[in-house]
Amino acid sequence: MTSMTHDPAVDPRILSEEETRQIIDRVRSFVTGGGTSTVEVGSWWSGELRWARNRVSLTSDRRNISVTIQRVVGHSVGSASTNQLDDVSLESMVRAAERSARLKTVASMEDFKLPEPKLPKVSPLIWSDATFNATAKMRGGLATTLAQNAEAKGMQSAGFMRMAGATSALSMRQSHDEADVGREVGGARTSFRYNRYTVGECSMTVRHPQGIGSGWAGLSGYDWSAIDGARLADRALQKCLASLNPVAVEPGRFTVILEPQAVYDFIQPLMLSTSRQAAEAGQGPFVDHFDRTLRLYRTKLGMKVMDDRVTISHDPNDPLLGIVPRDEGLGPITWFDHGILKTLTNDRLNHSLPLLNEDLPSVRRNSFRMSGGAATVDDMIASTERGLVVTRFANVRMLDGNSVLCTGLSRDGIWLVEKGKISKPVKNMRFRESPLFTLNNLLELGTPVPVFASDRSEPFSAIVPPIKAQDFSFTSLADAV
């Protein structure tokens, strides 16, 4: 592939900043009243490829542009969208938003686009020319090579790869007197933000034709040059070969070695449970007790809730996390600091503004970095008398919100460890366990690495270590590979 630098001014696949500003100016030219106008303009291109049974089954190059306007006048709010950029369509969109506002005279806070909090602007470098310049020919050639390696070993492979580029822009104009619907917008405060980013991902499954073994590997992020497709394919193939002819092991509590992908799959429900609003309503794992004097629920903020080696944080300026600064103010946050619950996530609209009287930053709770240690997976295996090594989990869902008790299935490779060595592959099992319980029963942690965390709109990822923990509960065998 020829190396070149993307020039947003001439590339037709996504909008440049100047093109975006021109569209916003055209939209604003059709606005006839006061109040607040918020215009969002987005564009994206996505090149995708799928293969199955060692043959390419789908390839596509897709793109789209979207324009949305929200009109807020007094206590009326309305919005409309279009993907057509001619003047007739843009003006029709504005008129539709204004009609919608007239019909909806009382609005809740969720309906409004609020100004961003006064926070330092985040500008993560999440653009990669290597991703954006990847051609359909390159994707096809790579997929063919990956599939041929599995076919040469008599295995069947299936996979998906995607390279995408996108832009998002938001501009808010607020007049001095929002209630004055009769005057033209003039002397207004205007804000503008434009972001561009890329998304790259590749995942691959290799299976035995008779269904007696399966291996998987995947990685996602913004930079395709950091995703080694050949290495992922080899890992998936080797895991498949190592998982052939698994044996049944009686379910129970095991010492487990969870590879990074399994760690992410397992603790994601915990991260989605870090809501301060829910905790103060008496829901979730971080409620302490009900204070009858003050008649409110106390939270576990400031308390130790997991092993003191665990720190989990979120930084929008960390490019490996791929957090796109969209319409909400983003800021760094540490949920758990050496096992202590330091922060619970606030909902800006429903919680931090009306209840706390604070305009706090927003976060992406599925994008985080977790601390680790010095142990490797091989080290963990060598120090294990009897346990299981897990590649990843699938279909993870929460059974109980207060304890974060979850269930799910192991997938694509699970092995029995005996006397410091892998002795045999075993059949997949269903687990029933809480991430909080496991993170309080840690034995060792490894080096954090990026994992596969696919999202169709953003390049977000997570950076987590492999872990070794004791007393992990598997409840039954799973009839699947």
Does the pLDDT of residue 120 top 80, yes or no? no
Rounded Cα distance, 421 and 379, in Å: 10
Q: How far apart are CA 330 and CA 316, in angstroms?
A: 7
Question: Residue 112: pLDDT above 80?
Answer: no
Residue 100 confidence class, pLDDT cut points 50, 70, 90: confident
Q: Which amino acid is at 211?
A: G
Q: Residue 34: which residues within 8 A CB-CB, separation 6 or more?
A: 73, 175, 177, 178, 179, 180, 181, 182, 183, 184, 185
| pLDDT the model gives residue 291 | 87
Report the pLDDT value the prediction gives residue 190, as an integer from 0 to 100: 78
∠ Cα 16 319 20 (to 5°): 15
Phi/psi at 226 (5° precision) = -90, 0
Lowest mean pLDDT among 69-83, 266-280, 419-433, 451-465: 451-465
Find, among 408, 399, 410, 406, the residue nearest to 256 by Cα. Answer: 410
Q: Please report the pLDDT score of residue 394 as a whole number.
A: 94
47 or 125: which carries more pLDDT confidence?
47
What pLDDT is stored for residue 3 in this prediction?
38
- The CA-CA-CA angle for residues 421, 427, 431, to 5°, reads 95
Summarize the confidence of residues 247-255 as an average pLDDT.
96
End-to-end CA distance of the chain: 37
Domain 17-203, CATH 3.30.2290.10 — does that match?
yes
Please tell me the predicted confidence (pLDDT) of residue 457. 58
Q: What is the per-residue pLDDT for 4?
A: 41
Range 295-316 average pLDDT: 93
pLDDT at 10 over 60: no
> Span 449-477, mean pLDDT?
87
Question: What is the reported pLDDT for 178?
Answer: 41
| pLDDT score of 313 | 93
- For the cut 60, the answer to whether the pLDDT of residue 254 exceeds it is yes
Give percent above pLDDT 70 in the chain. 85
**Domain limits, the chain:** 17-203, 246-481
**Does 184 or 412 have the greater pLDDT score?**
412
> What is the arithmetic mean of pLDDT over 287-315?
92
Average pLDDT over residues 140-169: 93
- The separation between CA 349 and the C-alpha centre of its own chain, rounded to angstroms, equals 21
Average pLDDT over every residue of 340-348: 82
Average pLDDT over residues 157-167: 94
Both tokens assigned to 269: 């429900």
Does residue 122 surpass a pLDDT of 70?
no
Helices (H), 272-365: 276-279
Model confidence pLDDT, tens digit, residues 209-237: 998 999 999 998 889 998 998 999 999 99
CA distance 122 to 318: 10
Are 98 and 71 in contact, with CB atoms under 8 Å apart? yes
129 Ramachandran zone, left/alpha/beta (phi>0; psi -120 to 50): alpha
Beta bridge partners of 476: 430
Contacts of 130 (CB under 8 A, 6+ apart): 3, 223, 224, 225
- Of residues 355 and 29, the one with the higher pLDDT is 29
Q: Give percent of the chain with pLDDT exceeding 90.
A: 63
Say if residues 285 and 273 touch (Cβ distance below 8 Å): yes
- The DSSP-derived string for 8-58 is TTT-TTS--HHHHHHHHHHHHTT--SSSEEEEEEEEEEEEEEEEETTEEEE
Mean pLDDT over the full length of the chain = 86
Q: What are the structure tokens assigned to 273, written together? A: 């449970």
Q: Is the dihedral of CA 319, 320, 324, 328 positive or negative?
A: negative
